[in-house]
Amino acid sequence: MIQLNYKSGVPICDQIVNGFIRMKALRLVESGEQLPSVRQLAMELGVNPNTIQKAYQILESSGIIYTVKGKGSFFSDDEAADTAVIMSAKKDFRAAVKTATELGLRENELIEIVTEICKKGESDK
Amino acid sequence: MIQLNYKSGVPICDQIVNGFIRMKALRLVESGEQLPSVRQLAMELGVNPNTIQKAYQILESSGIIYTVKGKGSFFSDDEAADTAVIMSAKKDFRAAVKTATELGLRENELIEIVTEICKKGESDK
Amino acid sequence: MIQLNYKSGVPICDQIVNGFIRMKALRLVESGEQLPSVRQLAMELGVNPNTIQKAYQILESSGIIYTVKGKGSFFSDDEAADTAVIMSAKKDFRAAVKTATELGLRENELIEIVTEICKKGESDK
Amino acid sequence: MIQLNYKSGVPICDQIVNGFIRMKALRLVESGEQLPSVRQLAMELGVNPNTIQKAYQILESSGIIYTVKGKGSFFSDDEAADTAVIMSAKKDFRAAVKTATELGLRENELIEIVTEICKKGESDK
DNA sequence: GTGGTCTAGACCACA
DNA sequence: GTGGTCTAGACCACA
């Protein structure tokens, strides 16, 4: 489900959080669907359970998932939360584009980088 | 010259590095121009000289400035410096694209944002 | 693992960097193998952790190792790492050639020395 | 006579010392020939007189030049000194070749680098 | 536990 | 004066 990249420099916890956000945004999961348990996912990914725990807490406080004590964690159907995440990502990306253009990168160079990375992401699947 | 933002979470050293890259990219400095001395800039910005030192060494290893022991640091004048600035900007932008895709933004959405902002930049001129 | 020479005049940090590059080049370490932690190596070598930290960051920016926050540093396994080692060696050798020519050694003298030593290395095998 | 390269990272004083050694080794100057005065060379090179002074002292203590108070500095006809410098340069270069081969560089790569840098030095004249 | 950043301050080489 | 290296030690984020 989630591919960790240890060499990317991105904290593992963030990668897990982003992974679930992406699955939801791309409709790879349905609202109400249950997430793996903290312990199970920790084993699958070979990661400390504390790291998964932290990721779930971040997801819950963002409204992306909700947790029922004793039952598990589930993707929420809170569209507002999903939208907020996407809007935030877009805002960050807009800022990055603005910075890049200010530093002298041109439209075609930016688009080239976008397609290059998106193609690469495709082939990784 | 350089404005530090302590609340941003961006390391001071990185802010200084980015500040000089920006100055170079925007042609606010001339090639060969001397940078403030490590100690002087440290005093001006109210940070430890070691932090400035580290920033200058990063800039030097990127080829954006060069240092003469006992004399000071200077903005590079060869084409390599411009290339270094562009490479740095591209690297940052690649990271931004990766983050955006991780959060579920699709290629066409990213390209849309790029063209939107670039067009706007055009019409501002 | 790494022998420091305080009298050589070579900065400690550089000696550490070169030591790991050497270990990688000589295949004394496996790809993916973990390096000692910053603190541990600092204790072993009797130097300040900051010095080790700097060395590790130089190695990382060269692509020879990669670092996972909270986990540790590891030797890179992709081809990029080997390339980085070669590049580093070439850079050092270029500097040596420059110094030699500055001191009046001529091209044919340098080549003679190169072949002499390489032949000797061959016959040692 | 002497070309300074501020970007090379080599201390100016060393570059001057090496420059005179090279001139002598390549027979561009004769034994007994007078060197420019400290003040004159300082002006020509746009360098602090203290730096020239230091370079001359190093050259004198190596036996490459000798100084007559009130008259000036002259290239000595001490062949032993010249030889010693060359031998030292060769020894350093041998060590560099050995290190390079140990790090995985092959004979043809080393020769390529030697010719590349020597050709470049030629065209700089 | 791991690495990352920063301050404070000493001491060195170089110009 | 300039930059370069290093120690000592605090404090942070991450696993």
pLDDT for the residue numbered D79: 86
Q: Which of residues 5-44 of D touch B (CB under 8 A)?
A: 6-7, 9, 11-12
Backbone angles phi, psi at A75, to 5 degrees: -70, 130
Between CA D97 and C1' E14 the distance (Å) reads 29
| Average pLDDT value for residue range B21-48 | 95
Is residue A122 scored above 80 in pLDDT? no
pLDDT digits (tens, 9 = 90+) for A2-17: 899 999 889 999 999 9
Instruction: Give residue numbers, 10 to 49 of A, with CB < 7 Å from strand F.
Output: 11-14, 47-48
B29 strand E contact, CB < 7 Å: no
Q: Which of residues 64-93 of B touch D (CB under 8 A)?
A: 66-71, 74, 76
Structure tokens at A5: 């990249």
Residues 6+ apart with CB under 8 A from C25: C85, C89, D102, D103, D104
Question: Residue A43, CB half-sphere, CA atoms under 13 Å: how many?
Answer: 4
Burial of residue C17 (number of CB atoms within 10 Å: 0-12, 13-18, 19+):
buried
- As a whole number, the mean pLDDT across chain C is 93
| Average pLDDT value for residue range B63-82 | 92
Q: Which chains touch C (3 or more CB pairs under 8 A)?
A: A, D
pLDDT digits (tens, 9 = 90+) for C38-80: 999 999 999 999 999 999 999 999 999 999 999 999 999 878 8
Q: Which DSSP state fits B36?
A: P
pLDDT for the residue numbered D82: 87
Is residue D121 scored above 80 in pLDDT? no
Which residue in A15, A93, A113 is closest to B113 by CB distance? A93
Is residue A125 scored above 60 in pLDDT? no
Contacts of B71 in chain D (CB under 8 A): 6
Q: Which nucleotides of F are covered by protein (CB under 7 A)?
A: 1-9, 13-15
Percent of chain A residues topping a pLDDT of 90: 79
pLDDT for the residue numbered C123: 77
B9 strand E contact, CB < 7 Å: no
Banded pLDDT at B77 (limits 50, 70, 90): confident
Our CA-based measurement puts residue D18 at a distance from the nearest CA of chain C, in whole angstroms, of 5
Between CA D40 and C1' E15 the distance (Å) reads 17
